Amino acid sequence: MKKFKELLESDSVYVFDGAIGTRFYDKGVYINKSYDELNLTSPDLVREVHGEYVANGADVIETNTFGATRHRLKQYSLEGKLHEINVKAVQHAKAAAGDKAFVAGAIGPLDLRIEPYGPTSLEEAKEMFAEQAAALDEGGVDLFILETFADLSEIRQAIEGVKSISKLPIIAQVQIQTDGKTVFGATAKMIAERLDEWGADVIGLNCGVGPTHVLSALEEMRSVTNKKLSAQPNAGLPRDVQGRQFYMCSPEYMSKFAKRYIKAGASFIGGCCGTTPKHIRLIADSVRAISPRSSRIEVRDSTPAKEKIAQAQVEPVSPLERSNWSRKVAQGEFVTSVEVLPPKGVRAKKTLQSIEILRVAGVDAVNIPDGPRAQTRMSAQATAVLVEREVGIEAVLHYCCRDRNLLGMMSDLLGAAALGLHNLLIITGDPPKMGPYPDATAVFDIDSIGLTNMVNKLNHGLDLGNNPIGDPTAFSIGVGVNPGAINLEEEIKRFEWKVEAGAEYAITQPVYDTEQLHEFLNKISHVRIPIVAGIFPLVSSRNAEFMHNEVPGVRVTQDILERMRQASDKSKEHAREEGLAIARESLEEIKNVIQGVQVSAPFGNVKYALKVFDVLDSFSEGERVTATTAGIEE
């Protein structure tokens, strides 16, 4: 039998198999099981499915290992059987293929978010792909097929992982949506350029959508690469019929598109979800009836992908020009802000009146939390727009990852830029179970590190997929940091990643232990960006105990706890005054090592919060008094 590399040198068109999972489901294996484990528990069934595709004309069949990476197998407590599952899968496929078909080692995505949009590093991802590839290679595959990837950075690690252990050919396939782009916004041309640059031997598309959308994308890909192309679409988009999902494209319909794929330049054609041996039989008939293209289409644009990204980028707006807050932070000036919660209902009058007090007093900005403690309030973005338009003070918009998927975040951020908001504090967000609606679901597509990367790209005029968006956004990028984190080493590592991702300043959790803050600042001196300290004036002993015991990362010293206990024993007024005194003392002790302060307004009382600023030489006490006695309704 020929080596698969010889097929890459010919002008013939070859047929891949169809869906393996669909056939397992048809034969009574339900989706709550690990289909990869069937290599061990149901070897006859696996060989039977492979054999059906070989008998119906497949030139290449894929191993039943789409989810046989360590993380995916761990979900079924099968990670210890990774090597055995992959090796057995190759043996079953080869037994069915005989000398009639090649065997491709199938590798799918990790089902993890990798950097810059998740905690898994590129190197960790590469190692997981290499681990599976090594087992498939040991089993004796003829080639590797990487399929159904949506994130180009992830498939790059898959390519590098395979290349680190084998010199066998690699087919790399990405899934697109109905708009012809990946979920991250990468176009068909960009997909082809990247996979070509990273060394895939065959470049293609699979899963996701039906034949029509794949054809349109193939035509675009052909224009920018001379590598061979592959197409394995779903049998259309699934439809719900009495509670079951059915793929509606008939074998005859799929076979018509096989001819069109050949005309578009595809050399490898098969099927994905919903395709059966009948589909592959008619696709094979169509392929064998048509003479393949004898000439290669010339690449019309040979500009390397990295250069194209650089060309697409526009000059970002200088931090000095984005906003007054951004300018002061960039120039090293001390900034002041007060955190005010969005209103609970649709009327913002009272909230805006209280913020007017801050403007008159000369505070630089008002911080607007995003769903604080997972509570239902007016959106932070809407509140920030009202604040800037109706009060005339800048807002620092907290934006969290909890409630939105990637596309929703992109839309929100573009909208915020269009509405004139420029100051962001990027946070991961409190889980819903902390709030009054514990049955609400969280999204957490990415964390604050990934979101920082996203905003930094927007500031360079690029979307998630490195596609130009026109004018760049002009966000001042702030992040949260926790000097009192239980795992301080992990917190520092994450802070380093945030700075690397593009963070320009950081706001801390409330500071009550000033020595702890000093120690933390020393430990991050190698990646120091402007630090704005959080100050939350305590109002009672109970409040102090809550902050210490129930707010993650906040440490209230025993001395402060005792002071608040004694003051609370006297009266509520004594407790509030003691809380103010503690807040002023804390700010006095740290003001020379920070570049700003964010004071929270307990129970929305901004006059109370303003009193903390008394220890700042740069803050006018006269202005504060004028503001707090101006008769503005609070």
Reference 482, options 439, 520, 425, 522; nearest CA is: 520
Cα–Cα dist 387/6, whole Å: 67
Domain boundaries, the chain: 12-309, 334-537+592-628
**Can 12-309 and 334-537+592-628 be said to share one CATH topology?**
yes
Q: Is 145 helix (H, G, I), strand (E, B) or coil?
A: strand
334-537+592-628: CATH topology is: TIM Barrel (3.20.20)
Tens-place pLDDT, residues 195-240: 999 999 999 999 888 888 899 999 999 999 999 999 999 887 655 4
Q: Going by CATH, does the domain composed of 12-309 fall within 3.30.1330.90? A: no
Range of weakest confidence among 41-55, 289-303, 408-422, 509-523: 289-303
Dihedral sign for Cα atoms in the order 259, 263, 264, 267 = positive
The one-letter code for the residue type at 492 is: I
Longest dimension (CA), the chain: 94
67 is written with which tokens?
A: 């989810």
pTM (2 d.p.): 0.66
CB of 42 within 8 A of CB of 30?
no
Nearest-angstrom CA–CA distance, 5 and 166? 13
Please classify residue 15 by burial: count the beta carbons closer than 10 Å to its beta carbon, then call 0-12 exposed, 13-18 middle and 19+ buried: buried
3-state secondary structure 438-500: CCCCCCCCCCHHHHHHHHHHHHCCECCCCCECCCCCCCEEEEEECCCCCCHHHHHHHHHHHHH
| H or E segment to which residue 563 belongs | helix 558-570
Residues 309-331: tens digit of each pLDDT = 444 557 899 999 999 999 999 99
Average pLDDT, the chain: 87
Which residues 6+ apart lie within 8 Å of 167 measured at CB?
A: none
* Amino acid letter, residue 407: L
**Per-residue DSSP letters for 23-65?**
HHHHTT--TTS-TTTHHHH-HHHHHHHHHHHHHTT-SEEE-S-
Residue that the structure tokens 């491709």 belong to: 104
Q: How far apart are alpha carbons 592 and 503 in whole angstroms? A: 22
Give tens-digit pLDDT for 412-445: 999 999 999 999 999 876 555 444 444 444 455 6
What are 284-312's pLDDT values in tens digits? Answer: 988 887 644 333 333 334 344 344 444 45
